[in-house]
Amino acid sequence: MRKPPVQTGRAVHPPNPVSLKFPCLMKAHHLHPKKYPLNRGLRRFSIRPRDGDPPFTEKFFSQVVDHFNFNSLGNATFNQRYLITDRFWKKSFGPIFFYTGNEGDIWEFALNSGFILELAAQQEALVIFAEHRYYGRSLPFGNQSFSIPEVGLLTVEQALADYALMITELKLQLAAAQSPVIVFGGSYGGMLSVYMRLKYPNIVAGALAASAPILSTAGFGDPRQFFRDVTAVSLGEQIRLKRPVACDTMLGGSDLLTNLRDTAGTEPALGLWKHFKNCEGLADSLQRCFVPAGMVYNSSGLLPCFDLYRLYVECADPTGCGLGFNSLAWDYQACTEIEMCYESNNVTDMFPPMTFTQEARQLYCSKRWGVQPRPGWLRIQFWGDDLSTASNIIFSNGDLDPWANGGVRNSLSPSLIAINISDGAHHLDLRGSNAADPESVVKARKMEAELIAAWVKMERVRFRQSH
């Protein structure tokens, strides 16, 4: 057995929104320090204490770099970041609520998943938010992590093994062997929660997968669905937000809509689409259509404008890859396992006609990363749409979320439960309670809490019977 990992921890406050756009590299790593030096030229942002910040402690776990090849790197490790709070935990008895981090800085998800903390207070749980390898500050090879072949260890399977090992060893360290584990995740993180329950049911007792497009990203369904649903959702009440606009005020509608198309699937934009009518044809008001893009590319509001052509990033995800190192990581994942062959046609949606076929994906990914995508791999590895023999998974989706129809919308069994939230946006149920919450999301959270409590109880019975 490996020795328990050495950890460092300190109570910190999350970075401001600007720092979330430029995640710092990890401070230390154990792998070939001369070959993989840290990038000392990156701008760093201070972490400022703020009132009301979540009570997390930031720590680093000594994680195996390659779980599946004993020769390539041996037992080499890297520092994987996680956030933890035992504020509500009934030590050695209460459950463990574990967030399967997705494509970004882990603080970004922790700050927007208040429901998990509320549930932890009710059920006396320990809460852990784990950062996905190759995102945020969890870079296995420092600033060389996105070189070839180093980037090749960025896979869904490696990420799941990271979480399985982290859960197992932290339970030992915290004397929590009898604490049932429930995993949570939103969007791609929700997909990972489903996969954790499928792959490691001996470790994970249940999963809440919010807005998890596990079907569309495995190649199922209509490739036009996403942008069609973005358009449908945008036909709501139009509002104006005070937000810097595009630097080039002479942009044509096609350029503008292409940019909006690139930001359509990002987390900030998903919360805004429902407020915008069809932007097509609004020649005198095109700048208003940049509000969702501005929320993505200029979230701090510090820039007088944002440059469309500088910020547009070509990648293997037509809904947008974001910026910085995180965009590189997601681009690589979209070139390998995650299928994002979505298209717009300007007939069923408001965006310019743009196709992204498997052939186009193959050509781009071969040129950019030197890899050939494997269409259909997620169907084989993670059961595709044949999930009926699984158990203890909640699939929650909001009707105002364009990702919803790429996920599971109908219950598959008494323990594979679909919760559809009529007034819900992208994983709104994971956010903290708010006085403005629609009744549908309040009811959804209540149902989720009851199901999770039942799973925890069932797992305790299993523990007693097996020991």
Taking Cα atoms as reference points, which of 104, 79, 301, 417 lies closest to residue 112? 104
What residues pair up with 206 in beta bridges, in sequence order?
182
- Give me the phi and psi of 8, to 5 degrees please: -120, 145
Closest CA to 327 of 20, 6, 2, 10: 20
187 in active site? yes
Report the distance separating Cα 212 and Cα 191, nearest Å: 5
Element (H, E) at 359: helix 358-369
What are the contacts of 352-356 at 24+ separation with CB within 8 A? 352/254, 352/257, 352/258, 352/261, 354/258, 354/261, 354/318, 356/223, 356/318
CB of 141 closer than 8 Å to CB of 150: yes
Phi, then psi, of 199 in degrees rounded to 5 = -85, -35
Encoded tokens for 377: 């791999």
Catalytic residue of the set 317, 349, 401, 429: 401
CB-based burial, 143-173: b 16+ in 10 Å, e otherwise:
bbbbeeebbbbbbbebbbbbbbbbbebbbee
Cα(77)–Cα(65) distance, rounded to whole angstroms? 5
In this structure, what token pair is assigned to residue 360?
């186009």
Backbone angles phi, psi at 162, to 5 degrees: -55, -50
Instruction: Determine which one of 187, 193, 216, 234 is catalytic.
Output: 187
Task: Round to whole Å and give the CA distance between 82 and 126.
Answer: 13
HSE, CB side, 13 Å, CA atoms: give it for residue 300. Answer: 13
H-assigned helices in 298-323: 308-311
Going through 43-85 in order, the beta strands assigned E by DSSP cover 57-64, 77-85
Active-site choice (132, 145, 262, 426): 426
Q: Please give the C-alpha separations between residue 173 and each of 25, 124, 446, in angstroms, as whole numbers.
A: 27, 19, 32
Tell me how long the chain is. 467
- SS3 (DSSP) at 167: helix
**Distant-in-sequence, close-in-space partners of 234: CB < 8 Å, separation ≥ 6:** 273, 274, 275, 276, 277, 278, 279, 350
C-alpha 102: how far from chain center: 3
Which of 180, 84, 101 has its CA nearest to residue 138? Answer: 101
Q: What are phi and psi of 195, to 5 degrees?
A: -65, -35
- Residues involved in catalysis: 187, 401, 426
